[in-house]
């Protein structure tokens, strides 16, 4: 845990979130500023800024959980995104995987 980290505060419950999935080492919740309906973030409960800062055992659920959420949401088209470092567009320094549904144009989103 990092005292000033917004995602650690979400894990602790100090900041509210719309939780989608939770286990002992992983949390998934809706993105506060979604790029599409259902945009979800999947994070390890172990704090680390970049993927390379986190021990492997805390990363094992990230992609399976993102996959399960995509499947459960019925998203036929979606992007999985994981940014590391400012130049790579990372804004929150706690590892997170984006699951971003890509709706049909007819649905008027994305
Ligand atoms: P990054 O650019 O670091 O890969 O993405 C960070 C994501 O975290 C952004 O999509 C942003 O909307 C989301 N985010 C930032 N602060 C909060 C928050 O307090 N709650 C939630 N649910 N999402 C947040
Ligand atoms: Zn953190």
Q: Is 18 near ligand 1, meaning CB less than 6 Å away?
A: no
Q: Is 79 near ligand 1, meaning CB less than 6 Å away?
A: no
Ligand number nearest to the C-alpha of 7: 2
The reported pTM is: 0.95
Predicted-complex ipTM score: 0.99
Domain containing residue 87: CATH number: 3.30.428.10
What's the number of domains the chain is made of? 1
User: Considering the domain boundaries, does residue 99 fall inside one?
Assistant: yes
Q: Is 39 a catalytic residue?
A: no
User: Considering the domain boundaries, does residue 1 fall inside one?
Assistant: no
Q: For atom 21 of ligand 1, which residue has the closest CA?
A: 32
**How much distance in Å is there from the Cα of 105 to the middle of ligand 1?**
24
- Measured CA to CA, the distance from residue 21 to residue 30 in angstroms comes to 10
pLDDT tens for 4-55 read 999 999 999 999 999 999 999 999 999 999 999 999 999 999 999 999 999 9
Q: Which domain holds residue 41?
A: 6-107
How far is the CA of 6 from the CAs of 17, 41, 78, 83, 90, in angstroms? 11, 13, 25, 16, 14
Q: Are 69 and 34 in contact (CB under 8 A)?
A: no
- Measured CA to CA, the distance from residue 6 to residue 92 in angstroms comes to 8
Q: Is 17 near ligand 1, meaning CB less than 6 Å away?
A: yes
pLDDT tens for 58-99 read 999 999 999 999 999 999 999 999 999 999 999 999 999 999
Structure tokens at 73: 């949401």
């Amino acid at each position: 845990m990092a005292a000033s980290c917004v995602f650690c505060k979400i894990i602790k419950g100090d900041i509210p979130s719309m939780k989608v999935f939770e286990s002992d080492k992983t949390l998934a919740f809706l993105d506060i500023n979604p790029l599409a309906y259902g945009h979800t973030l999947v994070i390890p409960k172990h704090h680390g800024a970049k993927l390379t800062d986190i021990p492997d055992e805390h990363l094992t659920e990230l992609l399976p959980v993102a996959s399960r959420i995509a499947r459960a949401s019925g998203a036929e088209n979606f992007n999985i995104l994981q940014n590391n470092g400012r130049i790579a567009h990372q804004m929150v320094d706690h590892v997170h995987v984006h699951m971003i549904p890509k709706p049909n144009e007819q649905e008027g989103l994305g």
